[in-house]
Structure 1
């Protein structure tokens, strides 16, 4: 009946017989201002892959659960306030425990993320993921996604049905980081337990603790809570090798060989026989191993395999020509990369036909620009 900016004035006049009333604009269910505010929220694409964050309780033990029991859409709908941070679009890429993460899912993630940014579908991407191999997925994507826009992985150490589940807070803060202008140009990140980690440095360090992820050999790149985001340093240019994701799975076969006392070369010879293209040694100490194993690695090099020495210790750098003469044997070293990340980088280098010893070593020498070169 009444409309326009002074409908309250007319309504008061009609009701009480007043000649005038103070002009007060009408409040509609969604004013143009509210609509515009909604329209200008950042756009975040949430790609769900399953994991503990999507887990449901199982009766086999007091803390038993099955990963992947909840969809990404259900996860997002269960987190209060997400709709105030961003316009969300949720897509289910997979629904698996991250122990089953594989090359096919990695390639689907990489292609979907690159397409979303190339076609201006999203301002940021959040990936929900199991924690067991989250660092590997993050590192893979950091090498093949070419954008300044934020890509953030998150998960949880407790399933969605657990007491004090950590998933909702982690997902909220991951979206918060993905919408922040300060997150641009920082590469692929991981957000867990109020902490922001760079993909190169993050590693899972505990079986059950919610603070399981640590930035080994470095420091977290920032911290986040529902009210604030604090990056430690300004974003710096990324100088890593330019690699492309293969068009099809699987990636080239690279085996991780775990060094131990009384070690022979049987696992190495098996890798050669089984058609591996490369071997990463999870060596003792600074990437060392037994005399018999070194002889086996020499045979691998003779057969055309690439060999990279890493360490099983969990921290520290593996440098060239310390206890092992890498120049003489034709080996590369991983510097700060743990065996699982060294394997991924070697797979990508082989897929990109960067297989000369000099090219391989140079790719491993790259360090996160926030900390400088390891050499």
Structure 2
């Protein structure tokens, strides 16, 4: 709470007269109160014009601290969201911020329970008009999957921005503070509305459908190979979006009951591949299989035969690719119509898995309907 300004001190030497002193004191005291009230009013007026942003912290490298086990080693999720905000000068000039801790994990341990908690809290904050935008701090390893999941389940057009860092908070040249500042800056910008979930790192704004991590250690790791960034954050020129948000549409799906999505496995294709990984996934209860195929989502004949057999048993089969960019196209190298397969279009295997889980949970299992959902883009 802001303190009122202290009452100005009255110097009693050289006072004009005994009668005048109380009048001067009263005048100065009144002036002090009025000045404090005016300052408070000005701050309130300034704050009232700033957007309200809810920061949801999940852990990750951005909240990491150094560990003595090796040079450059660190432990994820050691710093709270509140501490992260306090470490970044100027955030209070961008928005009225409130932080909540959803989890304190490395994103390699990201799970359905945390996803559901994020989705529900974001939706609640928007439905109850608690916030004008949400910023999520997150580890980079699975950042793209969380972004894509939330993009498919959070309703409304208010900005949701996910941010992380490649270096821990204790690193000499930590990238987290700058990324967090820019994430809040983007979330506070009215032009971010209606764009779905955005990822902001390293001066780039990227869409949830396309963004992916491409390098193990470089801060220039996130890119959108098929679409490119949707915008940039320039320290000199501010925020630049590359397209207007008008007319952009996205499907949203209901969160299923409980805390878990259906089991969907990713099977990675390689030379001399057999059917064992596919048969193993089915034996462990997979309701769907996403193929991280070679080239245009292809794989060996034994693996294709096993996938065709799985599809006939009601297992959803989605062909994606292990290649970094490009689209997987129906019926080019594989007879998808005959085999009952779905192709992922531009979605990489990890995002294809998320969408398959949501579709199965929503009761969408017919290949034709599944394909419509995968083909639907902005």
TM-score by length of 2: 0.90
Name the structure 1 match of 2:72. Answer: 63
Q: Could you tell me how far 1:57 is from its partner in structure 2?
A: 0.3
Check if 1:251 corresponds to 2:258: no
Q: Return the alpha-carbon distance in structure 1 between the equivalents of residues 222 and 16 of structure 2.
A: 65
Name the structure 1 match of 2:36. Answer: 28
Structure 1 unaligned blocks of 5 or more: 1-6, 8-13, 18-23, 370-375
Asked if 1 retains the 8 angstrom alpha-carbon contact of 2:61 and 2:165, the reply is yes
Check if 1:187 corresponds to 2:196: yes
Name the structure 2 match of 1:364. Answer: 374
Asked if 1 retains the 8 angstrom alpha-carbon contact of 2:153 and 2:254, the reply is yes
Comparing 140-149 and 218-227, the one that deviates more? 218-227
Give the alignment partner of residue 307 of structure 1, picking from 310, 317, 327: 317
Asked if 2 retains the 8 angstrom alpha-carbon contact of 1:144 and 1:242, the reply is yes
Superposed CA offset, 1:201-230 (max 9, x none): 000000011110001211100011345111
Asked if 1 retains the 8 angstrom alpha-carbon contact of 2:151 and 2:252, the reply is no
Question: Partner of 2:318: helix, strand, or coil?
Answer: strand
Q: Return the alpha-carbon distance in structure 2 between the equivalents of residues 223 and 239 of structure 1.
A: 21
Measured on the aligned residues, the alpha-carbon RMSD in Å equals: 1.8
Asked if 1 retains the 8 angstrom alpha-carbon contact of 2:320 and 2:348, the reply is yes
Check if 1:161 corresponds to 2:174: no
Asked if 2 retains the 8 angstrom alpha-carbon contact of 1:205 and 1:213, the reply is yes
Name the structure 2 match of 1:203. Answer: 212
Superposed CA offset, 1:175-222 (max 9, x none): 111111111111100000010000000000000111100012111000
Check if 1:110 corresponds to 2:119: yes
Name the structure 2 match of 1:297. Answer: 307
Give the alignment partner of residue 354 of structure 1, picking from 359, 364, 369: 364
Name the structure 2 match of 1:148. Answer: 157
Q: Could you tell me how far 1:239 is from its partner in structure 2?
A: 3.0
Asked if 2 retains the 8 angstrom alpha-carbon contact of 1:55 and 1:159, the reply is yes
Q: Return the alpha-carbon distance in structure 1 between the equivalents of residues 375 and 284 of structure 2.
A: 29
Give the alignment partner of residue 278 of structure 1, picking from 288, 294, 315: 288
Q: Could you tell me how far 1:305 is from its partner in structure 2?
A: 0.2
Name the structure 2 match of 1:234. Answer: 244
Give the alignment partner of residue 344 of structure 1, picking from 331, 354, 365: 354
Q: Return the alpha-carbon distance in structure 1 between the equivalents of residues 211 and 251 of structure 2.
A: 19
Asked if 2 retains the 8 angstrom alpha-carbon contact of 1:173 and 1:225, the reply is no
Q: Return the alpha-carbon distance in structure 2 between the equivalents of residues 198 and 237 of structure 1.
A: 15
Q: Could you tell me how far 1:27 is from its partner in structure 2?
A: 3.9
Asked if 1 retains the 8 angstrom alpha-carbon contact of 2:112 and 2:259, the reply is yes
- Number of residue pairs aligned between Structure 1 and Structure 2: 350
Q: Return the alpha-carbon distance in structure 1 between the equivalents of residues 124 and 16 of structure 2.
A: 58
Q: Return the alpha-carbon distance in structure 2 between the equivalents of residues 102 and 119 of structure 1.
A: 26
Q: Return the alpha-carbon distance in structure 1 between the equivalents of residues 45 and 284 of structure 2.
A: 60
Question: Partner of 2:266: helix, strand, or coil?
Answer: strand
Q: Return the alpha-carbon distance in structure 1 between the equivalents of residues 200 and 269 of structure 2.
A: 32
Name the structure 2 match of 1:3. Answer: none
Name the structure 1 match of 2:23. Answer: none
Comparing 242-251 and 139-148, the one that deviates more? 242-251
Check if 1:43 corresponds to 2:52: yes
Superposed CA offset, 1:42-77 (max 9, x none): 100000000000000011221110001111110011
Comparing 35-44 and 70-79, the one that deviates more? 35-44
TM-score by length of 1: 0.90
Superposed CA offset, 1:150-196 (max 9, x none): 00000100000001100001001101111111111111000000100
Q: Return the alpha-carbon distance in structure 1 between the equivalents of residues 258 and 225 of structure 2.
A: 32
Asked if 2 retains the 8 angstrom alpha-carbon contact of 1:158 and 1:166, the reply is yes
Q: Could you tell me how far 1:237 is from its partner in structure 2?
A: 2.9
